Chains A and B, each alone.
Chain A
Amino acid sequence: MDSITLVLQFYGLGIIISFLLAVTIKAMLGTIRLFSRDKSEEVQHAD
C-alpha cells in the first residue's frame, strides 16, 4: 500500500513539473512574440 501511495505521489509531482514546463513554454513563446511584434511595429512607425 505504501508503495502505491509513493508512486502516486511521484506521478503527481511528475504531472506538476510537466505542466509547469508546458506553462513556461507558453509564457516564453508569448513573451518572445510580444517583444518581436513591438519591435516590428517600431520599425514600421520609423518608416
Chain B
Amino acid sequence: MPSADAEGNLARLPPDLRSFLAEHDHAVFRPPAPLSVVHEITALQHALWRAAAQPVIRLDRPRLADGTLGAMPVVTNLFASRALCAAALGIADHREAARSLAQLAARPIAPVVVARADAPVQAVVFQGSDADATRLPAFRQHVGDAGHYISAGHLTTCDPDSGTDNAGIQRCLIRGPRLLGCYLTEISHNYRNMRKFWARGEPCPVAIWLGHHPAVSIGAQTKQAYPASHWSAAGGTIGAPLRLVPSITHGEQIMVPADAEIVIEGFIPPNRLEAEGPFAEYTGYTGPQLANPVIEIACITQRRDAIYVDCGSGLPDHLIPDNLSLEGSIYAVCRSAAPALVNVHVPFSGRRYHAYLQFGEARRGEVRDTLAAALSYRRLKLVVAVDTDIDIFDDRHVMWALATRAQWHRDLMRIDGLTAPYLDPTLPRGWTTASKIAIDATLPQAKRPDAPRPVSPPNRVDTAALDKATALLGAVDTRQWPRA
C-alpha cells in the first residue's frame, strides 16, 4: 500500500465519526436526563421508531449497569435514518441509493497506511490487565439478551493464504474483562478465515473497530467475493483512500482504521467454543443460544476522548445500512440483465427478506428474468416487481399493486432449495435452504407507445388541484387529527 505522504491525499481532514456528528448536529438528539445502557437507551430507539423519527442519539454521561454515570460518551441510532445515511454517502436523495451505491462499489479506492503518531485511534493503548472490555459502556439492549454486547464492532480478520483483510459487523458478548464471545455465521468470510487458522493449529488474529464516519462503516459492510479487501470498498464510499494503521498486536497482518474511535485486538483460540446468546436479532426475534468462538483480548486502543458507538439490534439503526448496501448490489447485478430495471428498495418492514424492484417498459420475460436473479441473494425471500407509478418507498403503495396487479396463477414464481437467510425464524429445524417467491405486480404493456395500457386506469385527481390541496395542508398543523 502507498504511504499517505507519497499519495498526498491527506491535505484535508480525514472523515471520521466526530466530523460527521459536527456536520449533522441538527439531527442529534441529546436526552435531557441520563439514560441507562441497560434497556433504557434501546427503549428510546423503539419509541422513536414508533414516532417515525430517527435522530442520532448521543449521551455524554450514560448511566452504566452499576448505576454510576459513565465518562465515555455513547452514540447510537447513527444509521437509523435513510436520509442521514445517504447524506453520509454524498447522495442527495436516499431513494437514489441503489444506483449511487452500485456506482460507488464499482470504483474502489485503495487505502493508505499512516504512522501510529498520525492515528488518533492509537493515542491511548491499554495492554495486559489494563485492556478491560468491561469499562466500555456496552449496552444490554433487550430483555432476554445474554449480557452486554458490542453491537457495532467491525470484526476484522485476514485470509492466512493471501493476507487479504475481511471485515464484518458481528455481535460480541462481553464475557469478562479480557474475554469476548463472538457470533460468526458459518457462511461468513471471517468464519472461513478463522477455520483456516484453526486448521493450522493457530489462533486467529482479530481486531474489532468501532466508531467511524458512517460512509466508512457502510462501505466496509459491502458484500465482497472471497478473498477481497473491504478497505478499498470503504475508500470508494468516502471517495478517498481510507487511512489505516498497523494494529498494535498483529502489526500489518491486521490493519485497523486510523480514524476509528476504539479498537479491540486479540485472538480467537483454536477450537474453543462456549455458549453465546440469546440475543435480540435483526429479524425482530431473539436468536437462540449457540456454541460460538471466544476472543481473548490482548489490547484495546482508543482516541483520547473516545466515543462508544452502539447499534440498536433489529431496529432501523441495524438494518438501514445493510439494506442500502444490498440495494446497490441487487441493482448492479440485475440491471446488467434487465435494462428496464429503474430502482430497488429493500424495506425495513421486510427486515432483510423483501425487495421491491421498479421497472420501466420491459420486454416480455424481462421482469421474471430479473426477479429470478434477485432471488439468488441469500437474504431475500420475497421480491416484488412494480411499475414506475408505484412508490417503492411506501409499503402501502406496494400492497396496493399486489392487491390489484397480480394474478397468482400467472404472476407468482416459487423456487425451492435456495440458500436461506440465517436466523430466519420460520426455517424448519435442520434446514439450510428455503423456498422463495417473486411476484410480478407490473401492469401489462400497452400495445404501442401512444396507446393506453390494456387495463383499467388508476384513479387520479387533477395535478393542479392536488398541488393546491398539498399547499393548503402545508400551512395547517395536522398533528392533532386522527391518524387512523
**Real complex partners, A and B?**
no
Interface residues of A (CB under 8 A from B): none
Interface residues of B (CB under 8 A from A): none
